[in-house]
């Protein structure tokens, strides 16, 4: 069988660009000297993940990613940095004496993850999924039928988080 | 299909390009008259004496935290809302339970004063923002 | 692969959209200044061209030929990115808004509603970055205030959108306008409009919720350290946001491009949309001329203790109505 030179499709090119972007941003989160910059690179990485979700035709996840992670959680992180005196000046470096061991740990974790990914029998052919909108509607359907207990548990969890946040911030 | 989103990607790229060009224009067209005073922070004529990056009231952080929780709640509502017509009463009751649970948290926040701004300043608070007086409609 | 449909037409549409929005922005500034002048019993701009119609052109040229000043104490890369980041969401949010029968501005993706929400969620970043990178007391306070305000009012806004979604039963804005509504749906929808409009005022940092840039306490808020074209970009973002949100409100509450004969004669659609947008923009300016600014604690209390409960109750009633009547 002759070896074919694969010509990337538009989707593949976009995927590659977004994946590289996400990885680069992720790296910068760790090595940036300024904590505020790190937070912004984190936003970039989260955005790249959202783009990959779109490529996987998981639009709702992508929107959730943008709304919750970028719109809310990253804002929270930025506020947290602004509340902390030393960090605001941008003089704290994320590097300290354990960063070498941390990098080693990350490497081991990455290798383990790689080995794990190799084991998974990935399907060769993508399954046909319904049109995007009924997919989200199906999600709503599942919330109140199959996964109703988990759904209400999420409600409970959110309430606990709410009360915990208020207690942490108000009591000292 | 993911390819449906290509126009949106093109839109985003062109919007970035437009912003970049607009930002670059004055570098070409504008005059260059450097002056030390021009590059100082604007403090209404007062010479700046401290770095602006200081700490802020915890209330801002609290609002962001409350927002995270409620934002996740609203996210859950979207898939439910779009299909409610077809699901009927059962879905309604379940969402009511979900909302009631969260409402307990909301009432707690209200009672604990987490939704209040300004007012009681306790000793030791690093207050930056002073109480603001009633201001007028801005004049053109 | 169909390159024409995939690449060329979207580019053309985008360029047309940008041209329309930029012209809209330019004449919105003129419209606002003229209107405010009338509210104040003044003339307003009347020197450049007839009725001052060339004033926006003069302003644009002036902004372009300004010296580029980057203050020495700023965080330069972020300082330069911030104005662009403020403007981009305002431009791209338009993609899913239908402008004529079955014609969205750029593309009818399945998540229409959510696109608007997601992009709106990004809007606060331009301001936060501007405030932080400027390293100026006024800028930082303005940015913090505006981001806290925007996220606070995003919640009731989201709840009202959920209510509209319950009635529409579809994420697509194109379908939302196409599908007929029962009379009680229209009436119930209009009940929400004043609240929705208040949320939009806060989201776009418009008067009376322009606390991030109250000139008598914070100079110009997050844009204090910006001048020339960079300031213009923030200005542009604010005004294009006004146009965009007006178009969204027209689409959600007043039938968007719909009007007599709009189904048969396609070009009437954009005309009707334009008229509705102008009426809503008039509302923006009217509010600015008439209502004084609240204090910041009042603003936050109003958002969390009034609008949020109203949003929840409204959504609950909508859900019950939808289940009972549909």
CATH number of the domain bearing residue A74? 1.20.120.1200
Most confident region among B58-67, C60-69, C235-244 by mean pLDDT: C235-244
Residues in C closer than 8 angstroms to A90, CB to CB, are 75
Residues in A closer than 8 angstroms to C165, CB to CB, are none
Of B16, B53, B135, the CB nearest to C214: B135
pLDDT at B138 over 50: no
The predicted-structure confidence for A23-44, as pLDDT tens digits, reads as follows: 999 888 888 777 778 888 898 8
Of B58, B64, B87, the CB nearest to A75: B64
Q: How many CB pairs under 8 A join A and B?
A: 149
Report the percentage of chain B scoring pLDDT > 70: 64
Residue C22 in domain: no
Residue A112 in domain: no
Distance from CA of C63 to the nearest CA of A (A): 29
Distance from CA of B125 to the nearest CA of C (A): 17
**A72/B68 CB distance under 8 A:** yes
Distance from CA of A2 to the nearest CA of C (A): 25
Residues spanned by the domain of C105: 66-325
pLDDT at C109 over 90: no
Interface of A with C (CB under 8 A): 10, 34, 36-37, 40, 43, 59-60, 62-63, 66-67, 70-72, 75, 78-79, 82, 90, 131-133, 136
Summarize the confidence of residues C216-243 as an average pLDDT: 78
The predicted-structure confidence for A61-78, as pLDDT tens digits, reads as follows: 888 888 888 888 888 888
Does residue C321 sit at the B interface (CB-CB below 8 Å)?
no
Residues C192-223 as b/e (b if ≥16 CB within 10 A, e otherwise) read beebbbbbbbbbbbbbbbbbbbbeebbbbbbb
The predicted-structure confidence for C75-103, as pLDDT tens digits, reads as follows: 778 888 888 888 888 888 888 888 877 77
- Tell me, what's the pLDDT at B60? 79
**B99/C13 CB distance under 8 A:** no
ipTM: 0.79
Distance from CA of B124 to the nearest CA of C (A): 20
A15 and A88 inside one domain? yes
- Tell me, what's the pLDDT at B91? 79
Distance from CA of C197 to the nearest CA of A (A): 21
A83 and A152 inside one domain? no
**A37/C170 CB distance under 8 A:** no
Q: Which two tokens stand for residue A165?
A: 């946040």
Residues in chain B: 140
Does residue C111 sit at the A interface (CB-CB below 8 Å)?
yes
Residue C25 in domain: no
- Tell me, what's the pLDDT at A91? 55
Q: Are C212 and C205 in contact (CB under 8 A)?
A: yes
Distance from CA of C8 to the nearest CA of B (A): 10
Residues 5-24 of B with CB under 8 A from A: 5-6, 9
List the domains of chain B with CATH numbers: 10-112 (1.20.58.1610)
**A161/B69 CB distance under 8 A:** yes
Summarize the confidence of residues C25-49 as an average pLDDT: 83
Task: Measure the CA–CA gap between C134 and C222, rounded to whole angstroms.
Answer: 8
Task: Measure the CA–CA gap between A150 and B98, rounded to whole angstroms.
Answer: 11
**A10/C122 CB distance under 8 A:** no
Summarize the confidence of residues A126-138 as an average pLDDT: 64
For chain C, the domain total comes to: 1
A139 and A71 inside one domain? no
A139 and A72 inside one domain? no
**B60/A82 CB distance under 8 A:** yes
**A71/C122 CB distance under 8 A:** yes
Residue A101 in domain: no
Residue C43 in domain: no
Distance from CA of C135 to the nearest CA of A (A): 10
Residues in B closer than 8 angstroms to A139, CB to CB, are 79
Task: Measure the CA–CA gap between C193 and A27, rounded to whole angstroms.
Answer: 45
Please report which helix (H) or strand (E) contains residue B99, including its range: helix B89-112
Instruction: Provide the Cα torsion C152, C153, C159, C161; round to 10°.
Output: -140
Does residue B90 sit at the C interface (CB-CB below 8 Å)?
no
Residue C222 in domain: yes
A16 and A73 inside one domain? yes
Of A37, A75, A90, the CB nearest to C151: A75
**A136/C111 CB distance under 8 A:** yes
- Tell me, what's the pLDDT at C60? 77
**B112/A85 CB distance under 8 A:** no
Does residue B123 sit at the A interface (CB-CB below 8 Å)?
no
Residue C161 in domain: yes
**A133/C171 CB distance under 8 A:** yes
- Of the three residues A62, A92, A122, the one that is the final residue of a domain is A92
Residues A113-128 as b/e (b if ≥16 CB within 10 A, e otherwise) read eeeeeeeeeeeeeeee
Task: Measure the CA–CA gap between C22 and C60, rounded to whole angstroms.
Answer: 11
What's chain C's average pLDDT?
81
Residue C31 in domain: no
**B55/A133 CB distance under 8 A:** no
Between A50 and C63, the more confident residue is A50
- Of the three residues A36, A65, A92, the one that is the final residue of a domain is A92
Distance from CA of C266 to the nearest CA of B (A): 22
Residue C122 in domain: yes
Residue A57 in domain: yes
Task: Measure the CA–CA gap between A74 and C125, rounded to whole angstroms.
Answer: 10
pLDDT at C52 over 80: no
Residue C57 backbone phi and psi in degrees, to 5: -65, -45
Q: Which of A54-63, C27-36, C236-245 shows the lowest mean pLDDT across its residues?
A: A54-63
- Tell me, what's the pLDDT at A14? 83
For chain A, the domain total comes to: 2
**C11/B14 CB distance under 8 A:** yes
- Tell me, what's the pLDDT at B129? 43
The predicted-structure confidence for B124-137, as pLDDT tens digits, reads as follows: 444 444 433 333 33
- Tell me, what's the pLDDT at B40? 64
- Tell me, what's the pLDDT at A112? 93
Strands C98-100 and C103-104: antiparallel
Chains that touch B (3 or more CB pairs under 8 A): A, C
Residues spanned by the domain of A17: 9-92
The Cβ-side half-sphere exposure at C10, using a 13 Å CA radius, reads 25
Residue C11 in domain: no
A85 and A143 inside one domain? no
Mutate one of A42, A55, A75 to test the C interface: name it (highest C CB count within 10 A): A75
Q: Model confidence at A108, in pLDDT bands (50, 70, 90)?
A: very high
Q: Model confidence at C51, in pLDDT bands (50, 70, 90)?
A: confident
Residues in B closer than 8 angstroms to A56, CB to CB, are 2
In chain C, alpha helices (H):
3, 9-39, 55-64, 76-92, 112-134, 137-168, 173-178, 183-203, 215-218, 228-253, 268-290, 296-301, 308-325
């Amino acid at each position: 069988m002759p070896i074919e030179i694969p010509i990337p499709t538009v989707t593949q090119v976009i995927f590659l660009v977004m994946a590289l972007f996400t990885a680069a941003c992720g790296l910068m989160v760790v090595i940036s000297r300024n904590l505020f910059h790190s937070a912004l690179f984190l936003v970039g990485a989260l955005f790249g993940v959202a783009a990959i979700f779109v490529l996987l035709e998981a639009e709702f996840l992508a929107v959730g990613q943008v709304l919750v992670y970028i719109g809310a959680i990253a804002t929270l992180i930025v506020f947290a940095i602004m509340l902390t005196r030393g960090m605001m000046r941008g003089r704290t470096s994320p590097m300290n004496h354990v960063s070498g061991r941390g990098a080693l740990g990350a490497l081991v974790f990455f290798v383990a993850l790689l080995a794990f990914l190799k084991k998974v029998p990935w399907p060769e052919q993508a399954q046909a999924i319904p049109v995007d909108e009924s997919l989200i509607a199906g999600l709503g359907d599942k919330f109140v039928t199959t996964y109703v207990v988990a759904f209400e548990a999420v409600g409970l969890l959110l309430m606990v988080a709410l009360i915990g946040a208020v207690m942490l911030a108000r009591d000292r | 299909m993911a390819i449906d989103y290509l126009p949106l990607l093109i839109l985003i790229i062109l919007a970035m390009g437009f912003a970049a060009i607009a930002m670059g224009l004055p570098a070409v067209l504008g005059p260059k008259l450097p002056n030390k005073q021009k590059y100082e922070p604007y403090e209404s004529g007062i010479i700046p004496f401290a770095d602006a990056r200081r700490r802020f009231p915890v209330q801002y952080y609290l609002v962001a935290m409350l927002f995270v929780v409620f934002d996740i709640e609203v996210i859950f509502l979207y898939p439910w809302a779009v299909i409610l017509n077809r699901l009927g009463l059962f879905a309604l009751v379940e969402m009511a339970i979900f909302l009631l649970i969260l409402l307990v948290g909301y009432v707690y926040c209200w009672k604990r004063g987490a939704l209040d701004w300004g007012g009681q300043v306790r000793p030791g608070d690093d207050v930056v923002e002073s109480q603001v007086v009633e201001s007028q409609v801005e004049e053109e | 692969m169909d390159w024409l449909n995939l690449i060329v037409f979207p580019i053309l549409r985008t360029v047309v959209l940008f041209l329309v929005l930029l012209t809209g922005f330019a004449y919105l500034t003129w419209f606002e200044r003229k209107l405010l002048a009338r509210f104040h019993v003044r003339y307003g701009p009347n020197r450049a061209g007839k009725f001052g119609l060339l004033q926006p052109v003069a302003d644009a040229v002036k902004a372009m030929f300004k010296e580029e000043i980057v203050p020495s104490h700023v965080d330069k890369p972020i300082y330069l990115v911030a104005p662009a980041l403020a403007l981009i969401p305002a431009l791209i949010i338009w993609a899913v808004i239908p402008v004529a029968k079955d014609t969205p501005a750029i593309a009818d993706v399945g998540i229409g509603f959510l696109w608007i929400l997601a992009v709106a969620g990004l809007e606060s970043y331009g301001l936060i970055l501007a405030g932080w990178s400027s390293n100026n007391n006024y800028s930082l306070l303005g940015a913090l205030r505006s981001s806290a305000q925007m996220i606070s009012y995003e919640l009731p806004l989201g709840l009202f959108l959920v209510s509209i979604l319950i009635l529409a039963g579809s994420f697509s804005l194109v379908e939302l306008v196409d599908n007929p509504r029962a009379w009680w749906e229209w009436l119930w929808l209009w009940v929400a409009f004043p609240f929705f409009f208040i949320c939009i005022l806060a989201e776009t940092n418009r008067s009376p919720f322009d606390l991030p840039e109250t000139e008598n306490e914070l100079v110009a808020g997050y844009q204090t350290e910006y001048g020339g074209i960079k300031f213009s970009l923030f200005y542009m973002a604010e005004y294009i946001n006004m146009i965009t949100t007006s178009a969204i409100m027209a689409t959600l509450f007043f039938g968007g491009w719909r009007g007599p004969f709009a189904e048969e004669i396609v070009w009437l659609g954009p005309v009707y949309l334009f008229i509705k947008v102008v009426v809503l923009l008039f509302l923006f300016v009217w509010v600015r001329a008439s209502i004084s600014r609240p204090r910041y604690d009042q603003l936050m209390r109003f958002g969390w203790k009034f609008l949020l409960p109203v949003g929840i109750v409204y959504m609950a009633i909508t859900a019950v109505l939808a289940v009972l009547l549909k």
